[in-house]
Structure 1
């Protein structure tokens, strides 16, 4: 039986082969579809639209992160600087109380009511400052350290009261109690406060460093502007149309947002640097100088209390005054050599001259005259000279610290506002860019 014949068309492709190729059709892949899409003008327009929208959003987000991050760093610097100043003021209150107590001890019997009031006010301010400083402490262990300071201050106050009670009755043991109280203050309380101050100062430095880090994000802001400009240039060449309303609006939005964000971030960094080297540095230096000078005032009294055996206290006095003089010089430089730094230095020198007169009386054998000069509150006395210096130094600390806090706070607010402006304009630019590119895409549909 003969097999049936099949009719074939010599020109037809074999089954399973692509016509005219003699090979099976290549499978379609995502990469292939993407490449094929880019080969067409609508595909390229869609890609350009994506680039423009992403560029706008990138600027908005990076501008927001840069401004918001810098604002937070400035707020942290402001808070930690206030914490440091408060810690130094706590130290000043305590050494002031001690200086008043030792000076009043020289009078013998019942000390003057004015001296007693100054002592109690200084101790009361210190006692009130400890809980608030502990509540706002951010460093590890600082709250516990300040709590220990509170307990030690109470012991110090108890020893001072014992010294006063014995001194009123003329018992020599009163001097021993006063010496013990002062030693407890300098061996237990002040070193702990200094440790807290050091850790807080390190945080302020770290905060100031964080302020400058936000500038790195400005590179992305610049990249966004460049990307959007490249899209507009490509579109103008492709379509032979110079202006696209949507892209023009997006460009304006991005330019304004970029300028706001850049100006705020760069300006905030400049403020942080100028504050750190200016009013903040002056505040810290003046406060430390006041603390050293007040401690020297205590040493002046102890030199007389020891009656001929107080050489080490006089040496401590000279060391403290020299340190205070140097710090006030630094404060003068930080305030650009203005009168704010020169006047405290002059007042410190005036008090030191009065101290020299006291030492000349004591070294000349007139101990009673030296005590009278050290405890006098007359207008031309050593006490009045020290009060003038102390009041002026306190005023300088208050003025420079307020200047520093206000400038940091203003810069933080500006950075925060610029962050939201950048974000809003970035989103608005993305919408405008998408709308403008969509007009060109419709021409190919």
Structure 2
């Protein structure tokens, strides 16, 4: 007799698993069930609270350190790039000053005065010495290449000036052509390249100062850590009916101190960066640019006389440069918050220039040249020197203020970063120890 066929019942789905949902598997369900069971007990919840408290403390340690450290790096970058920008402007000023001196000396004819020659050589020498330092701190291959081009062009410029001097000493008219060529090379090749370097450096300074403010975003995590630790303490107090846990209290103090230090340093550093950007740094850049424009105007004054009646375009250039320089000095006054000497001294020199132009326009060219090349105390040359010295002094003062304040803020942010790290780690240890006391009560 044949046995009836055996039928196998299909496996029954876990009643706790929704229809169509993938089966998690016994191992995964077992871990989840054990975890849920553990958290249903007071020791399990205490262990979770301990983890939260420790993570909250470490959150302060890590984010406080990152906020302070990143801001310190941004401030030091701003300090370096600001110094680079000032150095580039000073290089430009040295070259324009050398050209103004050479052009003015050309009016004398023959062998130029020894003082003028020394002033020219000093300006060229300072420019040559500053180029390697600027190239060493340049950012990127483009800036390095630009400064190398400037170095080559400066040598070419100096060679053309020497040719102009040699011909001028012998009374050859071709000397004026060499001087024109030298001045054109400076204005068409060197100065635009330096302006490009200055623009890129200024953009880096702006980017550095923006990075300083971005560090403030990390302070939100510091606040989150403090809130999490406070929540753990509130839960523990309600659960155990004990108001004070020494470990958590110590961790709270550590986090509060670390949070306050990190917050004060980061917010203070951002305030310093903004005040420097709108104060001494802005004044430094404006005054340096004004000095460069005024020095260029000094060259235009000489070229107007050299051209003897056909130098109207140089006089127009003079007026444009002086007007722009005056506007920049007003900006520097606003940024520094004081009225400075260069502005009044620029006006005094401009009045002397007006006297020179009046003589030349009246047909008294020799008298105009004598007034332009005089070194007497009441001369145009003395007035310009007074302006130049005052402008240089202001640049030195405000640039030092900017660099020192940025350096001080960077150091403060760096110290705060380490304080937050140490206190955050110490708080984590204290929180773990304090919670462990409660856990021992259930063992």
Matched, 1:68 2:66: no
Match of 2:20 in 1: none
Within-5 A mapping of 1:296-375: 296-336=297-337, 338-339=338-339, 341=340, 343-375=341-373
4+ runs of 1 displaced by more than 4 Å? none
Match of 1:396 in 2: 394
2: CA distance, partners of 1:57 / 1:332: 47
Within-5 A mapping of 1:22-421: 29-336=30-337, 338-339=338-339, 341=340, 343-421=341-419
Shift of residue 140, structure 1, vs aligned partner: 3.9
Q: Please list the CA deviations of residues 263-301 of structure 1 after superposition, one character each: whole Å capped at 9, or x if unmatched.
A: 000000000000000000000000000000000000000
Shift of residue 30, structure 1, vs aligned partner: 1.5
Shift of residue 436, structure 1, vs aligned partner: 0.1
Shift of residue 231, structure 1, vs aligned partner: 0.2
Match of 2:441 among 435, 440, 443: 443
- Structure 1 segments unaligned to the other structure (5+ residues): 1-25
Q: In structure 2, the residue corresponding to 1:377 is in which secondary structure?
A: coil
Report the aligned-residue RMSD: 0.8
Q: Please list the CA deviations of residues 217-236 of structure 1 after superposition, one character each: whole Å capped at 9, or x if unmatched.
A: 00000000000000000000
Q: Please list the CA deviations of residues 36-73 of structure 1 after superposition, one character each: whole Å capped at 9, or x if unmatched.
A: 11100000000000000000000000000000000000
Match of 1:432 in 2: 430
Q: Please list the CA deviations of residues 389-432 of structure 1 after superposition, one character each: whole Å capped at 9, or x if unmatched.
A: 00000000000000000000000000000000000000000000
Q: Please list the CA deviations of residues 153-195 of structure 1 after superposition, one character each: whole Å capped at 9, or x if unmatched.
A: 0000000000000000111110000000000000010000000
Shift of residue 261, structure 1, vs aligned partner: 0.3
2: CA distance, partners of 1:78 / 1:308: 48
Shift of residue 139, structure 1, vs aligned partner: 3.4
1: CA distance, partners of 2:141 / 2:130: 19
Range 393-402 or range 140-149, more displaced = 140-149
Question: In the alignment, is the contact (CA less than 8 A) between 1:289 and 1:328 conserved in 2?
Answer: yes
Question: In the alignment, is the contact (CA less than 8 A) between 1:300 and 1:317 conserved in 2?
Answer: yes
Question: In the alignment, is the contact (CA less than 8 A) between 1:296 and 1:320 conserved in 2?
Answer: yes
Match of 2:4 in 1: none
Q: In structure 2, the residue corresponding to 1:378 is in which secondary structure?
A: coil
Shift of residue 31, structure 1, vs aligned partner: 1.4
Q: In structure 1, the residue corresponding to 2:244 is in which secondary structure?
A: coil
Match of 1:11 in 2: none
1: CA distance, partners of 2:442 / 2:282: 65
Q: In structure 1, the residue corresponding to 2:74 is in which secondary structure?
A: helix
1: CA distance, partners of 2:326 / 2:353: 15
2: CA distance, partners of 1:91 / 1:137: 16
Match of 1:3 in 2: none
1: CA distance, partners of 2:402 / 2:136: 22
TM-score by length of 2: 0.93
2: CA distance, partners of 1:30 / 1:218: 37
1: CA distance, partners of 2:360 / 2:94: 29
Match of 1:6 in 2: none
